[in-house]
Every structure is written in C-alpha cells, then in structure tokens.
Amino acid sequence: MQMFDIRKKYLEFFKKQGHTIIASAPLVPENDSTTLFTGSGMQPILPYLLGTVHPSGTRITDSQKCFRAQDIEEVGDNRHTTFFEMLGNWSFGDYFKQEQLAWMWEFLTEEIQLDPNHLYFTCFRGNEDLGIPKDTESASLWQNFFLKRGIEAKIGEDPERNGIRPDEKIFYYSEKKNWWSRSGIPETMPEGEPGGPDTEMFWDFGAERELHEKSLWKDKPCHVNCDCGRFMEIGNNVFMEYKKTAGGFEKLAQINVDFGGGLERFIAAKGNNPDMFLGYIFDTLRTSVESLAHKRYGENEEHTYAFRVLMDHMRAATFLIADGVLPSNTDQGYVLRRLLRRAVRYADILDIAPQSLSSCVLALVSEYENAYPYFSEKEQNIVSVIDREEAKFRETLTRGMKELEKRLGGGDILNGIDAFELFSTYGFPLEMTEEIVKEKGGKIDEEEFKKEFMKHQDLSRAGSVGKFKGGLVDQSEISVKYHTATHLLQQALREVLGKHVFQKGSNITPERLRFDFSHPTKMTEEQKKEVEQIINQKIAESLTVTFEDLPLAEAEKLGAIGLFEERYGDTVRVYKIGPSTDSEQAYSLEFCGGPHVTNTGELGHFRITKEEACSAGIRRIKAILE
C-alpha cells in the first residue's frame, strides 16, 4: 500500500460517509496576516468551525499540505519533518463522537488494516473546578471497538505517574494533553472562545523501545505521551463543543468535529517502522540522494542525519516553490532560503557534487504528480529557482570562509558574536562553523553565541513564530473591507494593464492591504491614478456585494476568476460585485470564501501607497482605505 493508496483510501472512505472532498489550500495562506504558512489541516477550515457556512456543506474531507518552520531545527531524527500532509475530516454541526470514532476505527483496522493490538487512545480527564466532565463517552466507544475484536482494553487513570499497566489501551490525560482551543488550556481561554476535549490515536512500535535513550528514560514510566520513541501519535479527533463565558463554560449552539491525521505517520504505522524516512513516501527521493551521494542511507549515523535533513528540506522547498514562494530575506522567502542553504550544507557532508540538488525535484515530481498534477507543469521553474539559489549561496560560502579565517586569526577561540555574524550575514550554520574551527584546532564560545542567537530569535518571533499559532483569518471590520477592496483592485488592474493580470497572493492587516499580481513592468504614475479612479468610482456607485454557491464548471463558464486553481472543489463560492441577479453585468466575479462587506459604499477612499517589484514577472501594490 503506497502513499497514493492511503491518501486515496482515506478520501474515498469519507466520501462514502457523505463528505465532500475539497482540494488542499495553498501553503501560503490567503489574506491572513497572522501566520506565514498553513501549518495544520484545521487552519484553512477555522472560519467554518466558527460559524461561516461552507459552500460544500456540513461534511468535508481533504488532504492538506502543511509546513511548520518551527520544526526546522528538529529535523534529523526519525520522525520530524517540516512539510507534511494532514488528512482531515470535519463536521459543521452535523455528526459527533459516536459516528466519528466508529469511522476512524473502521478506517484504521479495516481500510488500511492496522493491527488493533498496536493501537492506543487517550481521552480528556475532565476538570471539576471548571465544570467540564470527563470524556467517558469516547473512552467507552474505544473500549467497545476493542471488545468486538476480542481484545479486553482497560482504561488507565494516571499514565504519567503509573505508566502502562497490563491490558491498558485507553488513558485519561489532563487538558494539557487532551483539550483543544486556539488559546491553549481552558484556564487561558478568553470569553467567547470555543474549544473542547479531544481523543488522540497512537501506534505502538514495540515494548523494546521503552529503553530507548536509557539515560533519559530508565527511571521514568513509559506511557503514550512520554516521547521515548515507542509510541507515535497518528491522529487527533477534536470535539469543539464548549464556549468560555464569564461564569465558566457552556455548550455551543453548533458543535463540531475536527479530525487531523498525518499521512506520513499513517504510513509509518502501516510499515511498523518508526523511521519515517524509510517509509515508501521517501523511497524514490531516498534512492535519488543515495545515487548522488554514492552512499547508503542508514550505514553511518552522521550521514543518516544528513540524509534526513536533505530529504526533508528538498521536499519542503519543492512544495513551497510550487506554491509561489521564492527565496528572499523576509517572511516566507527567508524560510525557503534557509531550507535551501541547509540542504547545500548537508549535501556537502554527503559529498554530493555542486549544482546537483535540483535533480531531487525529478524524484519528487514523479512521487507526487498523481495527487498534485500542477507539479509537472512547474518542474522546470522549481529546478531553476533551486539552481540559482545554490549558486548564490556557494558564492557567499567562499566569502564567508575568508571572513572566518580573518576573524579566527591565529587564535584558537572564535567569539560568539563573530560566530553569530557568520550565521546571520553569511549563512554559516553554527555546526558548519564549529566543524571548520575544530579542524583548525580551535573552538567556539557557544554560550556567547547562544545569547546572540536568543536576541535574534526574540526579534524574529515577533514577525513569524510568535504570530497567533491558530492561524485565525482576521475578520475585523476593517480587514473585511480590505478583503473586498482586493476584488475591486484586481478587476481594475485587468482593465488598465490587460487580461494577463491575475492575483498571485495577498496579505491583509487592519492597517493596509498588500496585493501581488502578474505583470512584467513597473506601473506608470498615470496607470496607478487610473486604477485608483476606477476603484473609487465603484465605491461611489455603492455596488452590492453578494455570493452564490455554484458547481465549479458553471462558475468557470460565467467567467469567475480565482487564485490557486488546484484548491477548488466541485462546488465553489462566487462573490459578485454589482447587480446580484445578473452575473454578466457584475463588475467583479471571483472564487472566494469571504468574508466581505455587503456594499462597496462602506469602503471609504482607496489610495495606492506603493507599487514595486515582488519577483520576476510579479508586481506588488500596497494600499489603504481612508
């Protein structure tokens, strides 16, 4: 059973249960200033969990592309990756615990035939002080499913203290482990915030792993959340059923189900191998890297680490570039640049010849084009971007080596400030600087480096990792106005510059809008003024803004335009600006999930503050509403 088979089985299984299959949202969120990347399957779905009506109904399922920049430093062990696919299914006020858990048990034990003896589950312990009861319903459901397979599954009450006792398969944990809300545990939730208990699913790779890393685990009880390497979480069923109030918690009018399960982790469980890089999801890529390196994966500990970093970073970079990200020194582009530079470093450790990394793209395209057909169309562009970035970094490596020689001088200690500047200015990872200095018989002042690095992290965190981790799309009144203004802007640009103009991305905050679009040359002052005049005229006309849910083919026939074509399902929401009863007379017609104002007269005066190059063939406009 290959990667494609498990993904397909999951989607088809939930389609049989009345779910509409929707396509993956882009890795770069649309109109969302809160986060750099789509980091979970739930993130693009959150507005619908909070009450917005989904155009595809109350039951949906997908396989969502995800990227987590905060995991870059974790890559190198057997289970961390920056890019992954999250299989998901949702109920918006439709079914609940009984149906969800029965379907998950059937999918795991029958559809992909996982051995139930290796399955373990955790449930919410409850919090009497907050009036939130123990989730005995989920625990009982799992227990009954085991019993039907002839397995007596006992329930453990305090696994963190007691470990796993004989025949225990289901465990209660506190809200630190089995509660979900955007703002964390129940005590920290603000009034009005939704949340609820969850039940997580784990795979047991074998009792012998309890002794993994003896120095860390020999005196601690083994349980499913202990991170000793024996267990791996493969999925989480969230039951969003509560709302925080001034007096405590009350039930939501619309209770929802949110499931997310890692495709790569399902594959690891299916193969009963905790090393995800040995799973067949990486087979083609791993073979390609082995051929480039003239080495075998797993033969040498240092080389195995390098293999994992290289495979992960090349896969993540390929997906990011395919979704429109280009290397730069800010935001998403900075993260991509960091991935590619680390890939070059670890390629050198494996003795892979310079300018060979892009050949990994061919292996990735062959592995993923069935699920993502646009991959093959973008293959040459991805290769070109990677080749250029590698060549550019190798130039900085040459300059950086000269700088390192100068700063080290004749001494045997490189101070931490110099080590950090080599990292921040020349892209030298600390481990690379350490290796070079060690070869010269010296060492680095690591404590001083860490202090400098922490300062850097504090500054960076304010711009990326520290942004609201839930990825909530900002739906404040002013942001909604800016969202509507982007529709007017795109149509005005197409009128002034030509029909080759299409949106390539946008970012909205309550202070301004940023809009990227396809156009080869700088706009003239006259063109910018004309665009402003058109938009302000449409605002003055107080045009109505309405939407309609239509079959994709019908929406395309009407001439509706969109952003990432691969994300649309069979049914789409089309927003019209203009006469609501006549699509041909509408000024703007776009695929969009909303939200928007109801009338353009609400927007105020539109003014372009800046127009600049974004990347080759892409321009960027920043504008405000006054």
- State residue 1's pLDDT score: 57
**Which tens digits make up the pLDDT trace of 43-60?**
888 888 878 889 899 999
The whole-number average pLDDT for the span 128-154 is 95
- 501: tokens are 């103009």
Measured from the Cβ of residue 603, the count of other Cβ atoms closer than 10 Å reads 24
Among 34-38, 315-319, 480-484, 496-500, the least confident range: 34-38
211: helix, strand or coil: helix
The pLDDT score that the predictor gives to residue 51 is 81
> What b-and-e string marks burial along 421-438, b requiring 16 or more CB atoms within 10 Å of the CB?
ebbeebbbebebbbebbe
Question: What type of residue sits at position 351?
Answer: D
Residue 443 confidence class, pLDDT cut points 50, 70, 90: confident
**Rounded to an integer, what distance in angstroms lies between the CA atom of residue 164 and that of residue 209?**
14
- The CATH architecture annotation of domain 477-625 reads 2-Layer Sandwich (3.30)
Mean pLDDT value of segment 84-106: 96
| pLDDT confidence band for 111 (50 / 70 / 90) | very high
Instruction: Please state, as a whole number, how many other Cβ atoms lie within 10 Å of the Cβ of residue 439.
Output: 8
Map out the domains of the chain as residue ranges.
3-276, 294-404, 477-625
440-445: average pLDDT: 81
- Encode 74-106: b = buried (16+ Cβ within 10 Å), e = exposed: ebeeebbbbbbbbbbbbbbebbebeebbebbbe
- The more confidently predicted of residues 419 and 121 is 121
Q: What is the pLDDT of residue 564?
A: 46
- Per-residue pLDDT reduced to its tens digit, 289-333: 999 999 999 998 889 999 999 999 999 999 999 998 998 877 888
pLDDT at 538 over 80: yes
Q: Is the pLDDT of residue 215 over 90?
A: no
Report DSSP state, residue 79: S
Ranges 89-103, 197-211, 456-470, most confident: 89-103
Place of tokens 């002034």: 496
Look-up: residue for tokens 């209770």?
255
Q: Which of 34, 82, 42, 76 is nearest to 60 (CA)?
A: 42
The residue type found at 591 is F
The mean pLDDT value for 86-107 works out to 97
The model's pLDDT over 230-259, given as tens digits with 9 standing for 90+, comes to: 899 999 999 999 988 988 899 988 899 999
Look at residue 169 and tell me whether its pLDDT is greater than 90.
yes
| AA letter at 625 | L
The helix or strand, by DSSP H or E, that contains position 424, with its residue range, turns out to be helix 416-426
Query: Among 402, 486, 412, which residue's Cα sits nearest to residue 443?
Result: 412
Does 474 score more than 80 pLDDT? no
pLDDT of residue 336: 92
Mean of per-residue pLDDT scores for the chain: 86
pLDDT for 467: 34
Averaged over 401-410, what is the pLDDT? 80
Band the pLDDT of 463: cuts 50, 70, 90: very low
Q: What are phi and psi of 358, to 5 degrees?
A: -65, -20
pLDDT value at position 21? 94
Residue 465: pLDDT band by 50, 70, 90 thresholds? very low
Q: Which CATH class is domain 3-276?
A: alpha beta
Percent of the chain with pLDDT over 90: 44
Report how far apart, in Å, the C-alpha atoms of 345 and of each of 92, 299, 396 are. 46, 20, 12
SS in 3 state form for 230-250? CEEEEEEEEEEEEEEECCEEE
pTM of the predicted structure, to 2 decimals: 0.74
Residue 429 confidence (pLDDT)? 65
Looking at residue 468, what is its pLDDT?
30
Q: How confident is the model at residue 415 (pLDDT cuts 50, 70, 90)?
A: confident
pLDDT reported for residue 466: 33
